[in-house]
Structure 1
Amino acid sequence: MLQNSLYLCHQGQRDEQLDRFFFINTGVCSVSVMADGFSHCHASPHYVDWLGEQLYALENTGSCCNELCGEVLRILSCNDCYPGKASIAVIVSDQEKYRYATLGDTRIYWPSHSFRTTDHSLAQRCIDRGNCPAEKLRDHPLRNQLTQFAGADSKHTLTWSERERTYHDAIIMCTDGFWSHFDDRFIHEIQTEASLHNAFRGMINKKTVPEDNVSVVLLRDL
């Protein structure tokens, strides 16, 4: 089952820090959620805080993976929540497999398999239509225009995918504040806590302070 091995977060030039990472263990399986809040940014509490309240209520409930996936979908479909929206990535894991899904541009990377999730953005849509090469996504002017997101007025829902569990595998979840500084090949080479820490420190120690908030976590299957 996945464990939180290293979580790193940095507030950039934004007035608010609405990045959140939640790790919940039901006793049978776990759910990892990376959220990047936006819209109604001055709201306190914000949608991402409500999301955390709902997820932490699942701690030690004994829920299995199927039940946990259903609970996550129920939470995201609720309209009675705090204001705001979020780009999110979710992984539900047990001793057999990972179930994962995203809304927006928060990503999940499997470095050992050179695989990552696909963004829900207008920039990604341009790439899918052949109007822009994939390697230009980080610099595309429509990169931050999301086509799917979580929030009170969202009609979008998670579409679960599955991967078989690999013992000791490293998985990275990150907001666009992190991945926008690196190409995919570089991130796929990050498979240890030390390499992630070095990449993170090198990024925030640059002369130009990152404008966006930055959050990344390395999960390890143990």
Structure 2
Amino acid sequence: MTNGYKLSASTGIHRGDRDYQQDQVILLSHARVSGCILAILADGMGGRSGGRKASDQVMMTAKQLFERYDPRRDESEETLMQLIQEAHTVIKLTAISSEEEPHSTVAAFLINAGGDCHWAHAGDSRIYHFRGDKFIKRTMDHSYVQALMTRGELTEDQANFHPQSNILMGCLGTESDPPVEFHCISKVEVGDTLMACSDGIWHYFTTAEIGSILSTLSAREASEFLIEKARERARGTGDNLSLVIVKVEPLEVAP
């Protein structure tokens, strides 16, 4: 809890219609600084064991770095970059030793006690920022269809049903370094919601739908509803699903 607001949060994960779970998600509270949290999500790829090894490595790296993270040193972006680079390197080494092809997306956001929020991502797992039900910003996927959308060759609706929507232009564990993009919210406000999710979630919703759901439901209710509705809309063909929601809420004033 920090001055002026409180944070409520929820994570959710489901295997979907796949035989195994390769998504991983975690929400960490800083051990020494109240109100400082790190949310991280990874969508692993590369076969049953390869994808899970990759997403597990992202989680392990995040935990280790956040334990050492000092919020007073203003190194949020550097910490997120180190997380991605270290996880990328270890995933590549795993591929060499196991003769598998593990890869993973990553979407992470860090909220400091002062209210500043920093995010970073690589791949097509997304981070959304809403203020109430108003859409503020989301990450841009490192994918083939996102490149077509950016060039104006596809609408968002067309992209969701494009036959090559699963082709990534970059992620962790590949030969080349992953594309990493950062964003900073100088200060979160009461009414803000941040959500990171894998494509097993966002593929089935419009941005307006997500904003409506996040603004009207609690973090726990929203996570349960989004997973349930995505499962329903997948009609038996759903991917792994994972998400983490953090809501900035007003402090309760004692009478």
Class of the TM-score when normalised by the shorter of the 2 chains: 0.7 to 0.9
Show structure 1 runs of 4+ deviating over 4 A: 1-4
Q: Which one has a bigger Cα radius of gyration?
A: 2
Matches within 5 A, 1:94-173: 94=112, 95-112=114-131, 113-114=134-135, 115-151=137-173, 153-163=175-185, 164-173=187-196
Q: So what's the TM-score if we normalise by structure 1? A: 0.87
Identity of aligned residues (%): 21
Partner SS, residue 80 of structure 1: helix
Q: Could you tell me which residue of structure 2 aligns to residue 201 of structure 1?
A: 228
**Greater CA drift, 39-48 or 169-178:** 39-48
**Structure 1 residue corresponding to 2:49, chosen from 42, 56, 61:** 42
Once the two structures are overlaid, the 10-residue window that deviates more, 156-165 or 36-45, is 36-45
CA distance in 2, matches of 1:133, 1:207: 21
1:36-77, Cα deviation, whole Å (9 max, x unpaired): 111244238611112212211234435227434323322322
Matches within 5 A, 1:175-214: 175-191=198-214, 192-193=217-218, 194-205=221-232, 208-214=235-241
Local SS of the residue matching 2:110: strand
Shift of 1:210: 4.0
Instruction: Tell me which amino acid in the other structure corresponds to 2:90.
Output: D
Structure 1 unaligned segments of length 5 or more: list them. none
Q: How does 1:54-93 map to 2 (within 5 A)?
A: 54-64=61-71, 66-78=74-86, 79-81=89-91, 82-83=94-95, 84-93=102-111
Pairwise CA distance, 1:150: 1.6
For 2:226 and 2:58, the matched residues in 1 are separated by: 29
**TM-score between both structures, scaled by the size of structure 2:** 0.76
Return the offset for 1:110: 1.7
Q: Distance in 2 between matches of 1:140 and 1:60?
A: 41
For structure 2, which runs of at least 5 residues remain unmatched after alignment? 96-101, 250-255
Over 3 Å counting, the alpha-carbon distance change for 1:200 and 1:130 in structure 2 is same
CA distance in 2, matches of 1:125, 1:206: 26
1:14 to 14, 18, 28: 18
Decide which structure has greater helix share: 2
RMSD: 2.5
Bigger shift: residues 103-112 or 59-68? 59-68
Rounded to whole Å, the distance in 1 between the matches of 2:150 and 2:161 is 16
102-111 vs 57-66, greater mean Cα deviation = 57-66
